[in-house]
Amino acid sequence: MKQAPDHMTKETIKQVVLDIISDIAPDEDLSVVKPEVRLRDQLSLDSMDFLDIVMELRKKHGIEVPEADYVQLASLDSCADYLLPKFLAKASK
Amino acid sequence: MSSKPRIVITGLGLTAPNGNSLPEFRANLLAGKARIAEIEVRHMGKHPAGVCDFDETKWQKRKEIRNGTRVGSISIFCAREALGSSGLDWDKVDKSRVGVYLGITEHGNVETENEIFNISQFGNDTKYWTHHHNPRTVANNPAGEVTMNMGITGPHYTIGAACAAGNAGLIQAAQMLQLGEVDLAFAGGVSESIHTFGIFAGFKNQGALGAHEDPNKASRPFDKNRNGIVISEGGAIYILERLDDALARGAPIIAEIAGWCINSDATDAVLPNPERQAECVQMALKRAGMKPQDIQIVSTHATATALGDIQECTALRAVFAGCPETKVNNTKSFIGHCMGAAGALELAGNIPSFEDNWVHPTINIDELDPECDMPGLVINHPIKVERVNAILNNSFGMLGINSALVVKKYGVA
């Protein structure tokens, strides 16, 4: 499991999510992803892909996203807002 | 079968350990070139295995490859290559009238083993078990992946038939075409079995896993010192059509499916039964309207196990006594045992004989086992014959499933 960077910011969280997406959707051009737009509206991602994002957060970073919170992963911005406290809480342990 | 529609082969795509197209595969068979690698098998160390090196990205996006299975990729490659050889204008084909019938020896072992290993890295906590497990392991997976890749909306399923599966896929397709269930069929056999250690361990503990210091000599059917099976991956998918449809569209007709039989030993889970095998061959010949002397090539199933090879030779000697024109060969000596793909690939390797009249040999025979000595056995070097009008393709499997398929040159009475 990867250690969270010492100084997690919303920008580093976005990069963490983009790195995961680059693995699960390798055909997509991620250089043009708009952080405020829903990921599903700009990338070819389905529900199985979002489950992959949840799984990779769990496996690589030890971050749990309960099913009720999946909606929080809609855009890069919402991912950053939702995940930053979780990463910080984990780093402080 | 004279009252039923005649079925012809109008396309063929394949990947074998020694070739990713029929011309490449055929050239290596005639040149005596085996291609067996040595791979690291989980928990077991290095073992010889036949590995295919086709380009998965030729017909699939990287995400499709990631989410699918290895055998799905093999199937898509073979089906797409078959289409390319068929002369079909795919955009104009009614996809609801196309069927996909793929023979498999087993399916799901690879993904299941991978996930068991995966969660073992996380204290066996099943919350780390992938949600892709079920779509990857359902038994129709390889055929279903073909339909999704190609937009086929007709029927698709796999035919589980142990190592008789390649023939069984072709037979199923021919039957569905004769019944009018579909107008076009993608059919054959596929296998990803080198990626499951369970198959290796099972054969090893059965005393039936082949080994040799030179991997290319590990698969040696009929040799006195043979010591078992070399497991391989691969696939061969044919396009089958009713003859009238093929003629109407001016299709390239590669060969005609003349007759077949599938029967069961009903005796033992692993030991073959030469009496039932001989009956299977005789019934296939009868349904083809042929006698043993009408067959120029017998493509044997022999896998290089101690008993299995002898049993098949016993069956063939019983059927083909007094048939001086009949030649006998074996393709596993080049590519190992491609499991679900074996029958379909081995037939494919022989089909060019209809045009070039060459018969590829069985290689790796340093000392012929006297109990496997048969008239017509082509040993180590190809031979040229006067004509090849009909091929008998044998494919047998565990639980006593036997299959024999007779394919003939199109246009020969």
* Statement to judge: residues B328 and B201 lie in one domain: no
A43 touches chain B (CB under 8 A): no
Place of tokens 């043979």: B226
Assign A37 to helix, strand or coil. Answer: coil
A55 touches chain B (CB under 8 A): yes
pLDDT at A1: 58
In chain A, which residue's Cα lies nearest the Cα of B60? A27
The minimum CA-CA distance between B122 and chain A, rounded to whole Å, is 8
Chain B residues touching A23 at Cβ < 8 A: 66
* Statement to judge: residues B349 and B392 lie in one domain: yes
B63 vs A55: CB contact, 8 Å cut-off?
no
Q: What is the largest CA-CA distance in chain B?
A: 66
User: Domain count of chain B?
Assistant: 2
ipTM here: 0.92
Choosing from B248, B280, B296, the residue where a domain stops is: B248
Place of tokens 């995961």: A20
Strand partners of residue B11: B239
Q: Is residue B359 part of a domain?
A: yes
For chain A, percent of residues with pLDDT exceeding 70: 94
* Statement to judge: residues B241 and B268 lie in one domain: no
Q: What is the pLDDT of residues B317-344, one digit of tens each?
A: 999 999 999 999 999 999 999 999 999 9
Please name the amino acid found at residue B271: L
pLDDT at B2: 52
A26 touches chain B (CB under 8 A): yes
Choosing from B206, B227, B248, the residue where a domain stops is: B248
* Statement to judge: residues B144 and B166 lie in one domain: yes
The 3-class secondary structure across chain B, one letter per residue, is CCCCCCEEEEEEEEEECCECCHHHHHHHHHCCCCCCEEEEECCCEEEEEECCCCCHHHCCCHHHHHHCCHHHHHHHHHHHHHHHHHCCCHHHCCHHHEEEEEEECCCCHHHHHHHHHHHHCCCCCHHHCCCCHHHHHCCCHHHHHHHHHHCCCCCEEEEECHHHHHHHHHHHHHHHHHHCCCCEEEEEEEECHHHCHHHHHHHHHCCCECCCCCHHHCCCCCECCCCCECEECEEEEEEEEEHHHHHHCCCCCCEEEEEEEEEECCCCCCCCCHHHHHHHHHHHHHHHCCCHHHCCEEECCCCCCHHHHHHHHHHHHHHHCCCCCCEEECCHHHHCECHHHHHHHHHHHHCCHHHHCEECCECCCCCECHHHCCCCECECCCEECCCCCEEEEEEEECCCEEEEEEEECCCCC
B66 touches chain A (CB under 8 A): yes
* Statement to judge: residues B339 and B242 lie in one domain: no
The number of C-beta contacts closer than 8 angstroms across A and B is 23
Q: What is the pLDDT of residues B176-209, one digit of tens each?
A: 999 999 999 999 999 999 999 999 999 999 999 9
A55 vs B128: CB contact, 8 Å cut-off?
yes
In chain B, which residue's Cα lies nearest the Cα of A50? B131
* Statement to judge: residues B27 and B176 lie in one domain: yes
Q: Is residue B253 part of a domain?
A: no
pLDDT at B240: 98
Strand partners of residue B311: none
B63 vs A58: CB contact, 8 Å cut-off?
no
pLDDT at B1: 46
User: Which residue of the set B301, B313, B360, B372 is catalytic?
Assistant: B301
Chain A residues touching B122 at Cβ < 8 A: 59
List the single residue in A25, A44, A51 with the smallest CB-CB distance to B131.
A51
Choosing from B248, B270, B294, the residue where a domain stops is: B248
Q: Tell me whether residue B156 is one of the annotated catalytic residues.
A: no
Chain A residues touching B132 at Cβ < 8 A: 48
* Statement to judge: residues B114 and B236 lie in one domain: yes
* Statement to judge: residues B136 and B174 lie in one domain: yes
Chain A residues touching B66 at Cβ < 8 A: 23-24, 26
The minimum CA-CA distance between A28 and chain B, rounded to whole Å, is 9
* Statement to judge: residues B32 and B13 lie in one domain: yes
Q: Is residue B333 part of a domain?
A: yes
* Mutate: best of A55, A61, A65, partner B, most B CBs <10 A: A55
Domains of chain A (ranges plus CATH)? Answer: 10-92 (1.10.1200.10)
| Cα distance between residue B237 and residue B16, in whole Å | 12
* Statement to judge: residues B224 and B344 lie in one domain: no
CB B3: neighbour CB atoms within 10 A? 5
B128 vs A59: CB contact, 8 Å cut-off?
yes
A59 vs B61: CB contact, 8 Å cut-off?
no
Q: Tell me which residue range forms the domain holding B381.
A: 259-408
Q: Tell me whether residue B313 is one of the annotated catalytic residues.
A: no
Q: Tell me whether residue B301 is one of the annotated catalytic residues.
A: yes
Q: Give the C-alpha distances (Å, rounded to integers) separating B143 from B149, B301, B304, B374, B395.
A: 10, 24, 30, 38, 21
Q: Give the C-alpha distances (Å, rounded to integers) separating B236 from B26, B51, B127, B164.
A: 13, 14, 37, 13
| Cα distance between residue B352 and residue B355, in whole Å | 6
Report which of B253, B257, B234 is spatially closest to residue B245, judged by C-alpha positions.
B253
Buried b / exposed e over A28-66, threshold 16 CB at 10 Å, is beeeebebeeebeebbebeeebbbbbbbbbbbebebebe
Place of tokens 């949840």: A54
pLDDT at A91: 87
pLDDT at A7: 76
The minimum CA-CA distance between B9 and chain A, rounded to whole Å, is 35
* Statement to judge: residues B386 and B274 lie in one domain: yes
How buried is residue B324: exposed, middle or buried, by Cβ count under 10 Å (0-12/13-18/19+)?
Answer: exposed
Q: What is the dihedral of CA B259, B262, B265, B268, to 10 degrees?
A: 130
Q: What is the CATH number of the domain that holds B384?
A: 3.40.47.10
Q: B379-382, long-range: CB within 8 Å, 24+ apart, which pairs?
A: B380/B32, B381/B32, B382/B29, B382/B30, B382/B32, B382/B358
| Cα distance between residue A40 and residue A78, in whole Å | 13
List the single residue in B61, B66, B128 with the smallest CB-CB distance to A24.
B66
Average pLDDT, chain B: 97
Chain A residues touching B62 at Cβ < 8 A: 26-27
B131 vs A59: CB contact, 8 Å cut-off?
no
CB B350 within 8 A of CB B9: no
pLDDT band at A82 (very low <50, low <70, confident <90, very high): very high
A48 vs B63: CB contact, 8 Å cut-off?
no
Profile chain B (413 residues) by mean pLDDT over runs of 10 residues.
86 98 98 98 98 98 97 98 98 98 98 98 98 98 98 98 98 98 98 98 97 98 98 98 98 98 96 96 98 98 96 95 96 98 98 98 98 96 98 97 98 84
pLDDT at A2: 55
Give me the count of residues in chain B: 413
List the single residue in A27, A48, A51 with the smallest CB-CB distance to B61.
A27
* Statement to judge: residues B96 and B134 lie in one domain: yes
User: Which residue of the set B78, B163, B313, B338 is catalytic?
Assistant: B163
Chain B residues touching A55 at Cβ < 8 A: 128, 130-131
pLDDT at A93: 78
| Cα distance between residue B280 and residue A2, in whole Å | 59
pLDDT at A6: 59
Place of tokens 């009496």: B275
User: Which residue of the set B47, B107, B195, B337 is catalytic?
Assistant: B337
The minimum CA-CA distance between B116 and chain A, rounded to whole Å, is 15
Q: What is the largest CA-CA distance in chain A?
A: 37
